[in-house]
Structure 1
């Protein structure tokens, strides 16, 4: 174990349409933009930041590997703990967000629902069920 690791500071998502991604994270999630330029927009989610980076700007960050294109399959799931999954799902639907699945009670003691942002990045909201 690397003891210097303590928390996730920034998650970088490679996006096709920066304006659409920024609108999703500010409009649906209600996040504030803390930095932006022509290549990226950074929003804050609690103590973490999400860097929305135009896909064409990403190769230098991941060389020698390549950046996958949109629609090549799910590669990650980001989970946000909430107090009321059903309430959050109702709010998501008011913003035109369609759920992939849920809300559903999982055998591991969580109620979850999943959805995607405009670039297909999958997010999940999860609440701990009582008694767990």
Structure 2
């Protein structure tokens, strides 16, 4: 029996604003755009990992009012867990994302545990890290 990742969720305040970052700056491709019950979610992916999708949705989408409010509070505080991407050229991708106007949290550095990485905040305040594997 095998198991693999299919979806990963990122809660955002505004799906269209988030698309400017995830599609525009990072270069992910929109795979699905669904509106239902007054809410919308969008899935994005990369040709480098077919079958793995990131779901962008607002805090109240598919949740009770109380749960959506609680999640909204966490998003607003910027305390949701990070999402980490991998790139073959973290420095070039860093420059592209920085040029988009994204908030830089950390410029590219070589980490003592191996990867070279950098970090940004998406428009909702979620931390986005980009890693590059160390040279062999």
Bin the TM-score by the shorter chain: 0.7 to 0.9
Indicate if the aligned counterparts of 2:21 and 2:102 stay in contact, CA closer than 8 A.
no
Runs of 5+ in structure 1 lacking a partner? none
Indicate if the aligned counterparts of 1:109 and 1:128 stay in contact, CA closer than 8 A.
yes
Higher helix share: 2
- Residues 9-64 of structure 1: CA distance to partner in whole angstroms, max 9, x if unpaired? 1012222112111222221122221111331111113231111112111425xx7x
Indicate if the aligned counterparts of 2:78 and 2:127 stay in contact, CA closer than 8 A.
no
* Count of residue correspondences: 126
Indicate if the aligned counterparts of 2:26 and 2:93 stay in contact, CA closer than 8 A.
no
Instruction: Please identify, of 108-117 and 46-55, the stretch whose mean Cα deviation from structure 2 is larger.
Output: 46-55
Runs of 5+ in structure 2 lacking a partner? none
Are residues 1:8 and 2:12 paired? no
> Partners in 1 of 2:85 and 2:28 — Cα distance?
13
Counterpart of 1:55 in structure 2 is 59
Counterpart of 1:41 in structure 2 is 42
- Scaled by the length of structure 2, what TM-score is found? 0.78
Which residue of the other structure, out of 32, 37, 40, is the alignment partner of 2:29? Answer: 32
- Scaled by the length of structure 1, what TM-score is found? 0.81
Counterpart of 1:80 in structure 2 is 85
Instruction: Please identify, of 118-127 and 67-76, the stretch whose mean Cα deviation from structure 2 is larger.
Output: 67-76
Q: After TM superposition, which residue ranges in structure 1, 4 or more long, deviate above 6 angstroms?
A: none
> Partners in 1 of 2:84 and 2:58 — Cα distance?
23
